[in-house]
Amino acid sequence: MEITLEDVSSGLEKEIKISRRENCEVCNGSGAEPGTQPKQCPQCKGTGQIQHVRSTGFARFVQITTCNACRGKGRIVETECQSCRGSGLVHKTRKINVKIPKGIENGSRLRLSRQGEAGKQGGPSGDLYVVIYVKQHKIFQRSDNNILCEIPIGFTQATLGTEINVPTLNGKIKLRIPKGTQTHTIFRLKGKGLPRLHGYGRGNELIKVIVRTPKKLTSKQKQLITELAKELGETVLEKKGFWK
């Protein structure tokens, strides 16, 4: 089952459809028409196995094979159940409610007891395993219970400080970027990560700001930045004849 990171955050209950074999209700899984009984296999006397004994001198070899008359079942159905044609099993499509706990890890297996395939000869059903895959999120990466993302900001914003809207798993919130912020600085939003599986509290959201350098400038912008460079005493490339 594929789920989203938002589902990991909130927990989820979802109905899935599965196709499985169940014991035939008409014959209770025996394969014999109601009112009749399967009889013991005469070839193997109900054991389902045949012993072949071979003696060579001192040694005696016993080889055991599956009985071919009853195919190892030990019983033979003489009057087959009409409903399942003697197999004792019927295919059913079932809707099953799967409860996914908060904070579940990618690749986890959930076990649903007795929701699997029918047991042999009317026996109890096996279990159903649901493997959980957490889809890659568009914005966030997961690291245990923390979520990480990168947010670009302009170099003037990083220099002078600003307030930006940042995404969380429940909508956007405001984040203050102080003046003089360097690129790759990580801001921590406490408790905005994922819940701990079967535990209390949540991890954090970590936001890495990436300071963008402008690539295309109008002549006015270029003039302003060149002036700023001079003011800061930084050496920059200048087009010959453009600015003197």
Phi, psi of 17, deg, nearest 5: -110, 130
d(CA 5, CA 145): 11
209 near Zn ion, rule: CB under 5 A? no
Shortest distance, position 24 Cβ to Zn ion, whole Å: 3
Beta-strand pair 12-23/89-100:
antiparallel
Closest CB to Zn ion among residues 69, 151 = 69
Find the binder of Zn ion among 5, 81, 128, 194 (CB under 5 A). 81
Span of 84-92, 93-101, 149-157, 159-167 interacting with Zn ion by CB under 5 A: 84-92
d(CA 34, CA 13): 40
Comparing CA positions, the residue from 98, 120, 119, 118 lying closest to residue 109 is: 98
Residue 58 neighbours by CB distance under 10 Å: 5
Closest CB to Zn ion among residues 83, 226 = 83
Closest CB to Zn ion among residues 52, 220 = 52
Closest CB to Zn ion among residues 21, 222 = 21
Enumerate residues 16-45 that contact Zn ion by CB under 5 A: 24, 26-27, 41, 43-44
**AA identity, residue 151:** I
Ramachandran region, residue 225 (left: φ > 0; alpha: ψ -120 to 50; beta: rest): alpha
Q: Tell me the β-bridge partners of 61.
A: 54
89 near Zn ion, rule: CB under 5 A? no
Shortest distance, position 199 Cβ to Zn ion, whole Å: 48
Closest CB to Zn ion among residues 26, 139 = 26
Instruction: Give the SS3 label for residue 72.
Output: coil
69 near Zn ion, rule: CB under 5 A? yes
Enumerate residues 215-234 that contact Zn ion by CB under 5 A: none
Q: Tell me the β-bridge partners of 16.
A: 96
Shortest distance, position 130 Cβ to Zn ion, whole Å: 29
Q: Interface with Zn ion by CB under 5 A: which residues? A: 24, 26-27, 41, 43-44, 67, 69-70, 81, 83-84
